[in-house]
Chain A
Amino acid sequence: MNYLTHIVAAASLIFVGATANAQTWPDEEKVVTVIVPYSAGGGTDSVIRPLIEELKNHLPARVQVVNIGGAGSSQGTNELLTRDADGYTLLAAGTHTIGATMQGLTAGYNDMDHIVGLNWDPFIIAVLKERDYDTLPELVEAAKNDPGAICLGNAGMGGATGVASVAINLKFDGVFNVTPFQGGQNLRADVLGGRCQVGIFSQSEILANSEALTPLAILYSEESALEDLKDVPTLEELGLGELSVPGGSYKSIAVRAGAPDEAIDALIEAFEKAFNSESYQQFMAEKGLIPAYSSGDDTTAYYNTLIDGFEPILREAGLYKAE
């Protein structure tokens, strides 16, 4: 009896020890750093910050956002890969990470584990109001009549808009003059200034310039969740369903590969609560972001399908440098 009590006591001690151990992550004295690989105020930053504000309510440690921009998103990604794989440094990853990795600027997705997948920010292809074409088929027709004369602008070859524009051009036999601009601001200025005919934009960019721009098509598979952009046709509706291009920019949260399971579990739990919080759900609805929550291995599997979709496009465009 006495012997048995001892075993039970020892077992329960071990058990208590184990649960106590499970709760040791995060160390309340430490800081959880979320690297946003773009400058403050940019598209990725504005999607991640409200989520992290919510996350602070669900993690006992201090949480901070750090913006490390440069070389597409490679600089911030490389910073993550120099940190310890202890789960205390996270990266706002996503479609941009795929481009950066394939261009050979970072080990990127080969050296990271996904925590959660978040949402899609759909792309819209748009032209100035005064252009002769106000549907996508008309635009394609105009481009075919004078190959190379119509500029199809993107916000940089490394990002998802770059890959999307290359993909569109490949599908239409290279009739467009695909032109990379240094960031969305320059793309907007040259499309609004009439020097580049077509641009690939986010929904918020279209809304901010709704008086000047005609949206031709939404590249995402569904209609926009925003009232003002609901009527913008999808590629499917335009009879271009076979056109498979990155439909937007996808955002996720990743850590350096090799982080302890307890850290990953704790992070998934906290991010799930933050994602499902009323304020973040409302934020996504207001911005027209399409929720695409997943966690752990599911996110990795989903992300791998994105990688498989990007690879042939980048290879065909001669942008694939990673070996």
Chain B
Amino acid sequence: MQAALADLSAGLEILLTFETIAWVIVGSILGIILGALPGLTATMGLALMLPVSFYLPTATGMALLLSVYTGAVSGASIPAILLGIPGNPNALATVEDGYKMSQNGQAGLALGGAALASLIGGFISLILLCLFAPLLAKATLAFGPAEKFMLALLGMSIIAAISGNNLMKGLSVAALGLALSIIGTDPFTNSARMPFPELFAATPLQSGIKLIPALIGFFGISQALYDLDRLRQGSLKVPQVSLKNPFPSMRKLGQMWRLTTESSLIGTIIGAIPGTGASIAVFLSYERAKQLTSKVGSKLGKVGTGKIEGVFAPEVANNAVTGGALIPVLTLAIPGDAATAVLLGALLIKGVVPGHELFTNDLPLVYAIFGAMGLSLIAMFVFQLIGIRIFPKVLEVPPLYLIPIIILLSYAGTYAIDGQASLVATFNMGVACILGVLGYLLKKADYPISPLVLGLILGPMLEQNFRLAVKLGQGNYFTFLEQPIVLVMLAIVIATFIGPRIIARAKS
């Protein structure tokens, strides 16, 4: 106990310096801005600040990176709420209710609620990280290809939920997303897999269609094109923003306890599973919130109709992912997602090898990293609140200017991600443009876009893990039925697909 306290105080000593706090502030502001600009992601913000962190002490460098990370995760909600465009995948599920709230004149409440939700979700996951890091690390080792495949399949089953009333349309765009995800190189033989390989094998198409240009195309550019269309009809409406009550009332928060707790758990657990990221967590928590709020007799506002509950759940979850994603990074040196892969890189470059040894030999550093995350969450909340007064001004820019700015930012963001590889970056701009037009056409034909993105995200995970599981099972396709965790997950997948239909039939 005494030793633990000594380690804790040593950790805080490393952390609580003027230098560290100054970098936390810089990182947080930068993170929120990067997160808020459509297309610029947490990963990119981290990659930008990685070289700076090399020159700082390990704990300070991690504090800077964690601030950028948590800032970018929560900052993504700002354009999602105000413009209906998620800044990055973290806000994919915030769009639905957030944008509706903003159109109903509740932008202030949505933004304030999102900031508060991010703070709560972040802190709950931080507590879970501190408590369960070693335990959950053991559980992730039990997660093999078969389990990861089932998890991806579970993610795919969400398509049914996010497709709205038209399941066939949802499934067909998801299939398109899967087809797009196959382009690139074969994960087993590394040989080119694309149309006309003799022409394209040595082009950037060899890395496939990258997620970020695709997201920017589908959400940024296609939305701008869509709005352009409406501009000609003269019907683009700028929602009114009221900043009277930026937070939900205490009573409301009390009513949402279950939604908050479950979203935090969903975020932390999904975050802790390698390969999964915020995009799955936000959809899962959003779906769960939908179930919770549509129960008969629930006092909560129905998610999907522009209620704070629909913003709270995914925003709690996406910041809870940050704490969860650090668990495998610190215990197993396995990143939970792309952003934490950069954090892991920063640690390795500093000569810190995460794992059992880190927890036994360098506990002060572990505590300093935990503390850094706490600091970064507080900074994120403060600057997000200050930002509420500034960001709605974006909406006051006339659409005539705003639409070109969105397109400009979308292209700038696409380019910047691989800015040092000009060939790849230019190619990605083309991808964003083509997929933007495709997204626009799909929207015009009333097809949902989210299942397509889900297919694109989960496609590689499904394919690689399916093939690996069968390979490890020596070609036995029934290998999935022989493992207990997989069977349980399979049952959940089937229940998600069939359950709602059985219930609906029973009711009728």
Q: Is B196 an interface residue (CB 8 A)?
A: no
- For A46, A190, A195, A204, the residue with the greatest tally of chain B CB atoms inside 10 Å of its CB is A195
Chain A's closest residue to B464 (CB) is A182
Closest B-chain residue to A212, C-beta based? B356
Contact B472 A196 (CB under 8 A): yes
Tell me if B89 counts as interface (CB < 8 A to partner A).
no
The answer, among B144, B192, B356, B420, for a CB contact under 8 Å with A105, is B192
| CB < 8 Å neighbour of B348 from A41, A105, A181 | A41
C-alpha spacing A74/B145, complex, angstroms? 26
Closest to A66 in B: B420
Interface contact A68-B418, CB-CB below 8 Å = yes
A106 to B203, CA, bound (A): 8
Whether the Cβ atoms of A321 and B207 lie closer than 8 Å is: no
Q: Which B residues are in CB contact (< 8 Å) with A148?
A: 474
Mark out the residues of chain A between 203 and 252 whose CB falls within 8 Å of any chain B CB in the assembled complex.
204, 208-209, 211
Known: A40-B349, A157-B189, A179-B468. A106 touches B420 (CB 8 A): no
A181 touches B423 (CB 8 A): no
Q: Which positions 158-193 of chain A face chain B at CB distance < 8 Å?
A: 158, 162, 177, 179-182, 185, 188-190, 192-193
- A103 in the interface, Cβ–Cβ < 8 Å? yes
Q: Does B355 contact A208, Cβ atoms closer than 8 Å?
A: yes
Chain A residues near B184 (CB-CB < 8 A): 71
Given contacts A156-B190, A181-B468, A208-B355, contact A106 B202 (CB under 8 A): yes
A78, A148, A189 — most chain B CB neighbours (10 Å)? A189
Cβ of B238 under 8 Å from chain A: no
Q: Mark B44-55, 1 if CB is under 8 A from A, else 0.
A: 000100100000
Contact B341 A177 (CB under 8 A): no
Q: Are B348 and A46 in contact (CB under 8 A)?
A: yes
Task: Establish whether residues A190 and B145, one from each chain, have CB atoms under 8 Å apart when the complex forms.
Answer: yes
Contact A192/B141 with A104-B201, A157-B188 known, Cβ cut-off 8 Å: yes
- The answer to whether B105 has its CB under 8 Å from any CB of chain A is no
B140 touches A75 (CB 8 A): no
Given A39-B345, A157-B190, A195-B472, CB of A71 within 8 Å of CB of B357: no
Chain A interfacial residues counted at CB < 8 A: 53
Smallest distance from the beta carbon of B137 to chain A beta carbons, Å? 11
Q: Are B421 and A76 in contact (CB under 8 A)?
A: yes
Task: Choose from B140, B202, B471 the contact partner of A107 (Cβ within 8 Å).
Answer: B202
Q: Which A residues are in CB contact (< 8 Å) with B349?
A: 40-41, 45-46, 49
A87 at interface, CB cutoff 8 A: no
Nearest CB of chain A from residue B44's CB, rounded to whole Å: 13
Do A40 and B345 touch (CB < 8 A)? yes
Residues of B within 8 A of A158 (CB): 190
The segment from B93-101, B166-174, B332-340 that touches chain A is B332-340
CB <8 Å contact, B189 and A70: no
B-side interface residues, number (CB < 8 Å): 50
Chain B 339-353 interface residues, beta-carbon cutoff 8 Å to A: 341-342, 344-349, 353
Give the CA-CA distance A107 to B474 in the complex, in Å: 35
Q: How distant is the Cα of A182 from the Cα of B353 in the complex, in angstroms?
A: 20
Contacts of A321 in B (CB 8 A): 191-192
A49 to chain B: closest residue by CB: B349
Residues of A within 8 A of B191 (CB): 103-104, 319, 321
Q: Is the CB of A70 within 8 A of B206?
A: yes
Query: B-facing mask of A47-87, CB < 8 A → 1, else 0?
Result: 00100000000000000001010111011101100100000
* Chain A residue at minimal CB-CB distance from B184: A71
- A268-323 interface with B by 8 A CB criterion: 318-319, 321
Chain B residues contacting A192 (CB-CB under 8 Å) are 141
Assess whether B496 is interfacial by the CB under 8 Å rule.
Answer: no
User: A149-B474, A190-B144 known; A41 and B346 CB under 8 Å?
Assistant: yes
Contact B357 A78, beta carbon cutoff 8 Å: no
8 Å CB contact of A72 from B141, B143, B190, B353: B190
B residues less than 8 Å from A76 (CB atoms):
421
Pair A179/B471 contact, Cβ less than 8 Å: yes
**A211 with B140: CB separation less than 8 A:** no
Question: What is the CA–CA distance of A195 and B140 in the complex, to the nearest angstrom?
Answer: 13
Contact A70 B207 (CB under 8 A): yes
Give Cα A71–Cα B47 distance, bound, in whole angstroms.
19
Contacts of B423 in A (CB 8 A): 78-79, 82
A208 & B357 in contact (Cβ 8 Å cutoff): yes
- A180 with B187: CB separation less than 8 A: yes
- Complex CA distance for A149 and B473, rounded to whole angstroms: 8
**Residue A99 at the B interface, CB < 8 A?**
yes
How would residues 130 to 146 of chain B score, 1 for a CB under 8 Å from any chain A CB and 0 otherwise? 00000000001111110
B145: chain A residues at CB < 8 Å are 190, 195
Q: Tell whether B301 is near chain A: CB-to-CB under 8 Å.
A: no
List chain A residues, Cβ under 8 A from B421.
66, 68, 75-76, 79
- Residues of chain A at the chain B interface (Cβ within 8 Å): 33, 39-42, 45-46, 49, 66, 68, 70-72, 74-76, 78-79, 82, 99-100, 103-107, 148-149, 151, 156-158, 162, 177, 179-182, 185, 188-190, 192-193, 195-196, 204, 208-209, 211, 318-319, 321
What 13 additional pairs, Cβ within 8 angstroms, besides A40-B345, A68-B424, A177-B472? A68-B420, A71-B206, A78-B203, A78-B423, A105-B185, A179-B468, A185-B274, A188-B334, A193-B144, A195-B145, A208-B355, A319-B190, A321-B192
Chain B residues within 8 Å of A, Cβ to Cβ: 47, 50, 140-145, 184-185, 187-192, 201-204, 206-207, 274, 332-335, 341-342, 344-349, 353, 355-357, 418, 420-424, 464, 468, 471-472, 474
Q: Can you list 30 A-B pairs with a CB-CB distance of less than 8 A?
A: A39-B345, A40-B349, A41-B345, A41-B346, A41-B347, A45-B349, A68-B420, A68-B424, A70-B206, A70-B207, A71-B185, A75-B424, A78-B203, A79-B421, A79-B423, A100-B190, A103-B189, A104-B201, A156-B190, A157-B190, A179-B471, A181-B468, A188-B334, A189-B140, A189-B144, A195-B144, A196-B472, A208-B357, A209-B355, A319-B189
